[in-house]
Chains A and B, each alone.
Chain A
């Protein structure tokens, strides 16, 4: 598979820090991926429409503000409304263990907490795309 993996990194919610996401963006770029960064304070609607327009393999949503349990259901609902079912959704940031479990039950493919080393992120994303197969 010589096609670069396409990733949209999005920040949803009120928190105004994006140093972490920017580091991840560079890591993914250096691993040969095409990375689009959404900027801060995006709504689920904005994130989903950007992800669909960009036809990304992976939508990565980072949040620090504890809104994950409302954000992800919205994202899945919006994607379903557009008939998009093959996008890989991952979450990043800081959250309690029980939320991680709940997100996975919801259909989030992987949750990578803030201390995940960069090459582990690369490996996980690459694996998820390989598992999905061609699209």
Chain B
């Protein structure tokens, strides 16, 4: 690829599983240029087969190491596995050090595994704006499973549960707080609870606590008919991964039931809302750029209040 290849022309190659074309389409989605939109529209319509697993948990809980081990397991069962790993952009420079891939180096030589690192670029919620576009592109490319590793999220950043078919929340022992999932508001979003680093002696305590919290019933999972399992794993020695894969497959099967259809519908609803929000912000930011300094001056001089002036800005920008 040396001359500029139009995004729509990359689609057949991506569909044939050609990695450079898949990778380039993801870059185009990230760039968010209008040129790529018709291609992304076509891709969305063709996609829809992949099982999307979301992995979330506080920073350092072992997500990347786990994703690597899980991907290797899933590969052994046959299908291709795509991974989109999200890390935060620096709010100061806008740049990022994308560090998830370095935990996945043993997967590097498997042509059936694709790993893409992505920076949040200011997006909140634990994913980047193009993360779900990347999932569609991988879906199109024949990746049967796509794993999203979110940013190590904090409070209220739980969009992954609204976007994935199966949400796995990772808790690690020994990170100070006994159950980080509760603190981060992530207890309720899990389809599967995972305790990582089970080679550590304090892992049992985390497992017990988590199980107890769940049986107390105060925090049921996203769907009443699905019993949220608590699985302990060690990503270094493979312990617990059979159970994890089993739980994921069982959960995947529930997606074809009546309540599974509801889940798919709510995923679509979230996608619609999120995309509309992004388009709105994009349009507003562009259209308001010229007018903003003048109104800011008035606001600064207290010649007007924030609500009135913001309404004026909105009205002018979106007219």
Residues of A within 8 A of B (CB): 3-4, 6, 25-26, 28-39, 42, 45-46, 49-50, 52-55, 82-86, 134-135
User: Measured between alpha carbons, how far is A61 from B237 in the docked complex, in Å?
Assistant: 32
User: Measured between alpha carbons, how far is A85 from B5 in the docked complex, in Å?
Assistant: 13
Residues of A within 8 Å of B99, CB to CB, are 37
Residues of A within 8 Å of B212, CB to CB, are none
User: Measured between alpha carbons, how far is A75 from B89 in the docked complex, in Å?
Assistant: 29
Residues of A within 8 Å of B20, CB to CB, are 52, 55, 82-84
User: Which 7 A/B pairs are nearest by Cβ-Cβ distance?
Assistant: A55-B23, A29-B95, A46-B108, A32-B95, A85-B2, A39-B102, A55-B27
Given contacts A32-B93, A36-B117, contact A135 B30 (CB under 8 A): no
Chain B residue, CB-CB nearest to A5 = B95
Given contacts A36-B117, A39-B102, A85-B1, contact A4 B96 (CB under 8 A): yes
User: Measured between alpha carbons, how far is A38 from B4 in the docked complex, in Å?
Assistant: 28
Say whether A29 contacts B108, CB under 8 Å. Answer: no
Chain A residue, CB-CB nearest to B118 = A34
Say whether A46 contacts B105, CB under 8 Å. Answer: yes
With both chains docked as a complex, state the minimum distance between the C-beta of B21 and any C-beta of chain A, in angstroms: 9
Say whether B94 contacts A32, CB under 8 Å. Answer: yes
Residues of A within 8 Å of B27, CB to CB, are 6, 55, 135
Chain A residue, CB-CB nearest to B32 = A3
Say whether B102 contacts A37, CB under 8 Å. Answer: yes
User: Measured between alpha carbons, how far is A86 from B1 in the docked complex, in Å?
Assistant: 6
List residues 87-119 of chain B with CB under 8 A from any CB of chain A: 89-90, 92-99, 101-102, 105, 108-109, 114-117, 119
Say whether A28 contacts B23, CB under 8 Å. Answer: no
Say whether B23 contacts A52, CB under 8 Å. Answer: yes
Tell whether B162 is near chain A: CB-to-CB under 8 Å: no
Residues of A within 8 Å of B93, CB to CB, are 29-32
Residues of B within 8 Å of A32, CB to CB, are 93-95
Say whether B105 contacts A39, CB under 8 Å. Answer: yes
Tell whether B292 is near chain A: CB-to-CB under 8 Å: no
Tell whether B315 is near chain A: CB-to-CB under 8 Å: no
Chain A residue, CB-CB nearest to B99 = A37
Residues of B within 8 Å of A135, CB to CB, are 1, 4, 24, 27
Of B24, B109, B119, the contact of A49 (CB 8 Å cutoff): B109
Of A36, A52, A86, the contact of B19 (CB 8 Å cutoff): A52
With both chains docked as a complex, state the minimum distance between the C-beta of A6 and any C-beta of chain B, in angstroms: 8
Q: Beyond the given A29-B96, A30-B92, A55-B24, please list 14 additional residue pairs across the A-B interface where CB-CB is below 8 A.
A: A4-B96, A34-B89, A34-B98, A34-B117, A35-B98, A45-B108, A46-B108, A53-B19, A53-B115, A54-B23, A54-B101, A55-B26, A134-B4, A135-B4
Tell whether B121 is near chain A: CB-to-CB under 8 Å: yes
Residues of A within 8 Å of B26, CB to CB, are 55
Say whether B101 contacts A50, CB under 8 Å. Answer: yes
With both chains docked as a complex, state the minimum distance between the C-beta of B151 and any C-beta of chain A, in angstroms: 14
Chain A residue, CB-CB nearest to B3 = A86
29 pairs from A and B in contact (CB 8 Å cutoff): A3-B30, A4-B119, A29-B93, A30-B90, A31-B93, A31-B95, A32-B94, A32-B95, A33-B95, A34-B89, A34-B98, A35-B96, A37-B97, A39-B105, A42-B105, A45-B108, A45-B109, A46-B105, A52-B20, A53-B19, A53-B23, A53-B114, A53-B115, A54-B23, A54-B116, A55-B23, A55-B24, A85-B1, A85-B2
With both chains docked as a complex, state the minimum distance between the C-beta of A119 and any C-beta of chain B, in angstroms: 13
Q: Please indicate which of the listed interface residues B20, B27, B92, B95 has the most CB atoms of chain A within 10 Å of its own CB.
A: B95
